[in-house]
Each structure stands twice: as C-alpha cells, then as structure tokens.
C-alpha cells in the first residue's frame, strides 16, 4: 500500500504552509456545505494550529446518505451502459493527475506525507486506482446456470446502492482511492468519512469528481470523528455496505455498531504487526534495503510496516549494520519542503505512545542499537529505532506501534523463524528473503498473513493483487478483482419456462 519511499518528484515545489488555502466544510450533493468549529488540528511538521475539522452530526449524515441515494437513482449510474462509468471515471482520474499541484500541498500540510513524494506517489497512485477499477465496470457478465430443462437459471450482479466508507489518516489520498474506485466502478454512490486528522484532500477529490462530470451526489464527504459521524454512518439504514480501513479497535466498534443497528456486509482493513524473515542465504543488501524501506516509509506509519525483523543468527549483525546505514540517510524536515524524505509522526499523542513502548522495552532489558529518541527539531519527529534482545511478549514486539521502531529477533532454523513470525492476533502481511525457492514457497504457505512478499517488501502499483488481513487484521479485501466484486451483490433468478 505505501507508495515507494523513493517516489520523489523534483517538479513538486516547496510551499509556504501559512499561505495555503484549504477547502472547508463538508461536500454533499455536489456542493461544499459550510461548517464551523470542530476538532483543532496541528501540523505534524511544526505543531502549529492551522485548521479545525468540523464534526457532522447524524442529521447531516442523513442528508449525505439521502443525496447519495438520490444521485444513484436519478443518474442511473449503476444501470446505464457500464462503458459510460468507465469513461467518466477515467476523466476523473485524468483530472486528479492534472491537479496534482493543488492536491499535493493540501495533503502535505495536514498529513505526514512530504510534498516531494506526493505528486508522483500518492496522487498518481490514487488516479491509477480509479482507472484500474473503472476497467472492471464493463467486463462483467451475468451467469446463465444449469437448472434443468423447463427452466432458466440466472445469477445477476447488482450494486448495493450507497456504500459508507471510512478511511484512516496515514495515506489519505490513496486510502480514499481504495474505497471510491471499486465502489463507484461497481455502480454505487459513496458517503465517505475521512480521518478527522487529514480530511482536506478527500474534499478536493470529491469536488474534482463533479468537475470531471460525475453526477453530483455520487461522491459525498462528511467530516467528523468516529464516535459521532462514523457511528452515524456505519449504523445508517440507507447504507448498503460498509467499507472501512483503520485500526482493529475501531473495526471492532464498527462491527458492534452494525450488529446493533441492522445487518449489513462489511469489509474491514485493519491493523498489523508484520514480520520480515531473513534467511542466511538471502541477498543481504537487498534485504537491508527492503527492511529499512519499510521502516522509514512514512516513518513506519503504514499498516503493512514490516517492523518485526526475524533474522538468521549467523547474519544478524551484518544485516542490522546495513539497515542502520540506510537509516543514516534520512532527510527529516517539514512536509512542505521538497527536499524532505522522512515523515513526521502524526501527533504528540502518537509520539508519547511510541516513547512509552520503547521505554518499556528498554526497561525490560532490550538493547537500543540506534535511535530511541525523539528528534531534536520542531514538530513531531522520531528517530529510526532498532531494538535488539526484545522478549517475544514485549509490547514492542506485540503491539502495532505505528512508528519507526524495528525489533530484531534471531532464529537458528526454519521452525523457530516461523514460530517467531506467528502473531497471536494480527496477520496482515509478511516478507521473506531467501535464494532457496523451495524454502520460499514452503514458508509462504506456512505464514498466516494476507500478503506475503518474497525478496521484496511492500506493494507498488500492483493493484491487481488483493490486499487484506488474516486473523484480526481484517475481513475481505481491498484492491484486486475481489474489491470490485465486494461492492456488488448477486441475485439468483429462476424462470419457469
Ligand atoms: P483509527 O481506527 O483510529 O481511525 C480510522 C478511521 O476510523 C477514522 O476516520 C476514524 O475517525 C474512524 N473511526 C474511529 N472510530 C470509529 C467508530 N467507532 N466508528 C466509525 N468510525 C470510526 O485508525 P487511524 O489511526 O486513522 O489509522 C491507523 C490504523 O489504520 C492502523 O491500525 C493501521 O494499521 C490501519 N490501517 C490499515 C490498513 C489496511 O489496509 N489494513 C491501511 C491503512 C491503515
């Protein structure tokens, strides 16, 4: 999911964050709906208060759901010749790319994403996701099924109508693309609630959809927090399906709310604590680059961050040293400086959490090989941190830290490596590095994870591969054909001849 940490675009300029105009309000039925007050937001890069995120009350969520239902009904979005959807979504994707120079600063100022990585990274990925899903829209055929002479059996596929989507703060644009692309291509309208910490780029995406000619009301954005706006959205009777990406705790709360308010299907993309296994025969330079890349990308604030290094004892020292060398090359700085490559941590609260987990590991006897402190500069930056001699039950090994903290555990044989890799609750992703093909396939089979990367780590633009978790890392898939199909339901028809 995270765009490559190396995806820099020299054309993306530094900008003055104090002179940046941000969109405000909610976006419903093709128009910005003014709103005042709300949750005060601070820029991660320097801590300055810069905007408020309004909180939509349930009545406004009602309005957005009604606008979505009306748009999908009156425009015939899900019923007209599907090639029209394909063309409209391509126009929108083109416009998103054209407006990269507007989207990138708006994203950079609120989030942890450096402006130099946005245009060629997150913005381009978002446009590609929309194009990728658009192409499914007119490739689907209904099935004629054998039901015996004298009858005709059909399985028809239909959209849900209105999809309720909720996204996290860590990659706001591409997470919105994950949700909007498949839901719209499949013929639905969407009401999307972005994270209250990074809501602005999603508002722009919605406004661009109308500018590109999508029916007003097809993409609606309500801003707000989880307990008020999120709960109203996931429990809304006008929503046919919930599509969520965020923490396992919030996913659990959503399941409870959906169960309480009425049954509806859900896809949940949740947290992780992903291992990277490096065997003694691996290309160590390649493994070091991949492990460091996953630690440093968005400063470890990625669901699939591979922050549990499990390495063969014989090569552990050499590998840790090589990873450390990559960490030495970071360029921390404000997200509005084009030279920045190392992201700040999203909030003071999150820094405090990282400090508490690292502190507890050190108090329990872990050895800090590198980092272990906040960076001495404005904003919320934390040094790339490598911890050795950490116990399997340490919170540093068990909890999703969502920061640049790598734990190192060593193994003597494959069984021990697999035992260490197994997490009691998470199963989002895993990486493994070896030159032995048989081992690679055997270990891949044994790993309990929704994605396994072999001799690489992280996705790039391979949208065809579904992404999703085993265990409590989620239910269902985003990306891939599965994500498109998850936004449609089947109707069985039996005609008596
Ligand atoms: P979060 O769970 O705190 O918030 C995510 C979104 O859910 C926000 O929009 C929030 O307002 C909303 N929310 C919170 N409680 C809610 C509730 N009770 N009902 C409805 N909505 C609610 O997560 P975050 O801090 O924004 O993002 C980080 C988390 O997201 C990490 O756990 C990370 O692993 C996960 N994540 C997972 C994937 C994936 O593909 N599996 C991708 C990105 C992020």
Whether residue 294 sits in one domain with residue 235: no
At CB < 8 A and 24+ separation, what contacts does 257-260 make?
Answer: 257/231, 258/234, 260/235
Category of 62 on φ-ψ map: left (φ > 0), alpha (ψ -120 to 50) or beta: alpha
Answer whether 288's CB lies under 8 Å from 322's CB. yes
Whether residue 58 sits in one domain with residue 43: yes
| CATH number, domain with residue 328 | 3.40.309.10
Whether residue 152 sits in one domain with residue 91: yes
Residue 116 is predicted with a pLDDT of 93
pTM of the complete model: 0.96
Query: Does residue 468 lie in a domain region?
Result: no
Whether residue 450 sits in one domain with residue 380: yes
Query: Does residue 21 lie in a domain region?
Result: yes
Residue 5 is predicted with a pLDDT of 35
For residue 406, the tally of other CB atoms under 10 A from its CB is 30
Query: Does residue 22 lie in a domain region?
Result: yes
Structure tokens of 190?
A: 């969407």
Whether residue 43 sits in one domain with residue 152: yes
Structure tokens of 49?
A: 């208060």
| CATH number, domain with residue 77 | 3.40.605.10
Query: Does residue 469 lie in a domain region?
Result: no
Question: What domain count does the chain have?
Answer: 2
Q: What residue has token string 């922050």?
A: 307
Structure tokens of 170?
A: 């860590």
Query: Does residue 470 lie in a domain region?
Result: no
Q: How far is the CA of 476 from the centre of ligand 1 (A)?
A: 16
Distance CA 120, CA 302 (A): 18
Residue 267 is predicted with a pLDDT of 98
Whether residue 230 sits in one domain with residue 180: yes
Category of 304 on φ-ψ map: left (φ > 0), alpha (ψ -120 to 50) or beta: alpha
Query: Does residue 32 lie in a domain region?
Result: yes
Residue 119 is predicted with a pLDDT of 84
Q: Is 367 part of the annotated catalytic residue set? A: no
Distance CA 239, CA 221 (A): 14
For the chain, what is the mean pLDDT? 96
Structure tokens of 63?
A: 């309005």
Q: What distance lies between CA 86 and its chain's CA centroid?
A: 24
Q: How far is the CA of 250 from the centre of ligand 1 (A)?
A: 6
Whether residue 321 sits in one domain with residue 198: no
Alpha helices (runs of H) in 9-81, residue ranges in sequence order: 58-75
Residue 9 is predicted with a pLDDT of 43
Whether residue 132 sits in one domain with residue 73: yes
Q: Which residues of the chain have pLDDT under 70?
A: 1-12
Q: How far is the CA of 281 from the centre of ligand 1 (A)?
A: 38
Q: What is the DSSP letter of 3?
A: P
Distance CA 370, CA 379 (A): 21
Whether residue 286 sits in one domain with residue 222: no
Whether residue 96 sits in one domain with residue 48: yes
Domain residues for the domain of 403 are 275-463
Whether residue 483 sits in one domain with residue 459: no
Q: Which residue out of 211, 269, 348, 367 is catalytically annotated?
A: 269
Whether residue 293 sits in one domain with residue 260: no
Q: Which residue among 125, 198, 250, 472 is best mutated to probe the pocket of ligand 1, counting the most ligand atoms within 8 A of its Cβ?
A: 250
Distance CA 408, CA 367 (A): 10
Query: Does residue 76 lie in a domain region?
Result: yes
Q: What is the pLDDT of residues 137-189, one digit of tens each?
A: 999 889 999 999 999 999 999 999 999 999 999 999 999 999 999 999 999 99
């Amino acid at each position: 999911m995270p765009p490559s940490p190396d995806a820099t675009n020299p054309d993306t300029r530094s900008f003055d964050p104090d002179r940046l105009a941000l969109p405000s309000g909610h976006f419903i039925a093709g128009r910005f709906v003014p709103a005042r007050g709300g949750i005060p937001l601070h820029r991660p890069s320097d801590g300055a208060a810069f905007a408020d995120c309004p909180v939509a009350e349930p009545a406004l969520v009602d309005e957005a759901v009604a606008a979505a239902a009306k748009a999908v009904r009156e425009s015939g979005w899900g019923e007209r010749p599907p090639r029209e959807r394909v063309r409209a979504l391509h126009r929108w994707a083109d416009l998103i790319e054209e407006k990269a120079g507007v989207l990138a600063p708006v994203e950079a100022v609120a989030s942890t994403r450096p402006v130099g990585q946005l245009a060629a990274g997150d913005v381009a990925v978002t446009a590609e996701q929309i194009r990728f899903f658009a192409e499914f829209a007119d490739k689907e055929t209904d099935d004629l099924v054998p039901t015996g002479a004298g009858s005709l059996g059909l399985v028809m596929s239909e959209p849900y109508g209105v999809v309720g989507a909720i996204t996290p703060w860590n990659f706001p644009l591409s997470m919105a693309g994950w949700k909007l692309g498949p839901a719209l291509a499949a013929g639905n309208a969407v009401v999307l609630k972005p994270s209250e910490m990074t809501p602005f780029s999603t508002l722009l995406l919605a406004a661009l959809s109308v500018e590109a000619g999508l029916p007003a009301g097809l993409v609606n954005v309500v801003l707000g927090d989880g307990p008020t706006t999120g709960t109203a959205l996931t429990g809304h009777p006008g929503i046919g399906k919930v599509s969520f990406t965020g923490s396992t705790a919030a996913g659990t709360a959503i399941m409870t709310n959906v169960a309480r308010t009425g049954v509806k299907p859900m896809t949940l993309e949740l947290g992780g604590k992903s291992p990277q296994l490096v065997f003694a025969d691996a290309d160590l330079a390649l493994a070091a680059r991949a492990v460091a890349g996953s630690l440093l990308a968005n400063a470890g604030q990625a669901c699939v961050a591979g922050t549990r290094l499990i390495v063969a004892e014989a090569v552990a020292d050499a590998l840790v040293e090589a990873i450390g060398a990559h960490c030495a090359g970071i360029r921390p700085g404000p997200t509005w400086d084009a030279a920045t490559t190392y992201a700040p941590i999203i909030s003071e609260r999150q820094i405090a959490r990282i400090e508490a987990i690292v502190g507890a590991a050190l108090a329990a006897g872990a050895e800090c090989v590198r980092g272990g402190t906040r960076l001495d500069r404005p904003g919320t930056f934390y040094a790339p941190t490598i911890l050795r001699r950490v116990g399997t039950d340490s919170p540093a090994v068990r909890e999703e830290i969502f920061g640049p903290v790598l734990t190192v555990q060593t193994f003597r044989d494959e069984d021990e490596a697999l035992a260490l890799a197994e997490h009691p609750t998470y199963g989002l992703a895993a990486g493994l590095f070896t030159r032995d093909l048989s081992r690679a396939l055997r270990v891949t089979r044994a790993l309990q994870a929704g994605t396994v990367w072999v001799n690489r780590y992280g996705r790039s633009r391979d949208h065809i591969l579904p992404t999703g978790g085993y265990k409590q890392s989620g239910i269902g898939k985003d990306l891939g054909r599965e994500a498109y199909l998850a936004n449609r339901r089947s109707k069985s028809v039996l005609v008596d001849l």
